[in-house]
A and B are shown apart, each in its own frame.
Chain A
Amino acid sequence: MKFGILVNEGLYQHQASDTAYQFAKAAVEKGHEVPRIFFYHDGVYNSSSLTEPPQDDRNIVNRWAKLAKDHNIDLVVCVAAALRRGIKDENLAEGFRISGLGQLVEVGIQADRLVVFGD
């Protein structure tokens, strides 16, 4: 099955980002496809290259990048939500790209299921 994923919450503050990651990882490991993960609302913070979590904690940003690289997943950050919150190309982590909301609608059209993670 082809899953699109929408992440609506910031990293560390909220479990949504962790759960979305675990879901995406489990899906691809089971042989499903996750062509695109879209980050919206405070979810855009998942793409900040400026995060420095403590050494003994998970690194959410790097974890997304690795998952995307290993499984050819398109990580898209909403441009309008990103600019509002100070995420720009200068501080965009590796593996992510900034684009428009059309990318979310597009994956909704093309995936078999769109799964939303948020409050």
Chain B
Amino acid sequence: MTEATGGIDFEDEGSGVVKKFMFVNRKAPYGTIYALESLEVVLISAAFDQDVSLVFMDDGIYQIVKGQHTKAIDVKNFSPTYRALEGYDIEKLYVDRDSLEQRGLTEDDLLVDVQVLDAAGMAKLMSEQDVVLSF
């Protein structure tokens, strides 16, 4: 382990420390690769048994909108993965209310069950996290 980490002694991943990890998704699912690669980190963090939350705000809301068809742009539609998160015990999904309303969307338009929070609620939730990764 020491050699692999460049001489730095990290404890084993099984150290039992559980931190609150929040992934803030702010970008549309296609157009840039942020959303897809963010999802890859989310799945890995679940494998480390961390306390994971996902937030969707701004254009990130579109990541979990129903009925995505990407054939015409020749990009993989990865939206079914969000429905599989439950299987990884990732069940804390939050959506920013303003972002949802500004885009003319409601919870019924979303692929997964979410909790809708106003800005104050979101700020409180973020302040309670140990690690916030924004993509």
Contacts and interface: CB of A to CB of B under 8 A. Distances in A.
Interface of A: 6, 8, 35-36, 40-41, 68, 72-75, 80-81, 97, 99-102, 104-110, 114, 116, 118-119
Interface of B: 4-8, 10-11, 13, 15, 17, 19, 21, 33-34, 37, 40-41, 44-45, 47-48, 50, 130-135
Contacts of A114: 131-133
**Most chain B CB inside 10 Å of its own CB: which residue of A80, A108, A116:** A108
Nearest to A72: B7
16 contacts: A40-B41, A41-B135, A73-B6, A74-B6, A74-B8, A81-B37, A99-B4, A100-B44, A101-B44, A102-B44, A104-B41, A105-B44, A105-B50, A109-B17, A109-B19, A114-B132
B64 to A, nearest CB: 20
A108 B40 contact: no
Contacts of A75: 6
Given A41-B37, A100-B44, A102-B47, A108 B131 contact: yes
Nearest to B41: A101
A108 B6 contact: no
Contacts of B19: 108-109
Contacts of A81: 37
A106 B14 CA distance: 10
Contact of A106 (B7, B10, B33, B132): B10
Nearest to A73: B6
A109 B135 contact: no
Nearest to B9: A35
Contact of B48 (A74, A105, A119): A105
Contact of B10 (A35, A40, A68, A97): A35
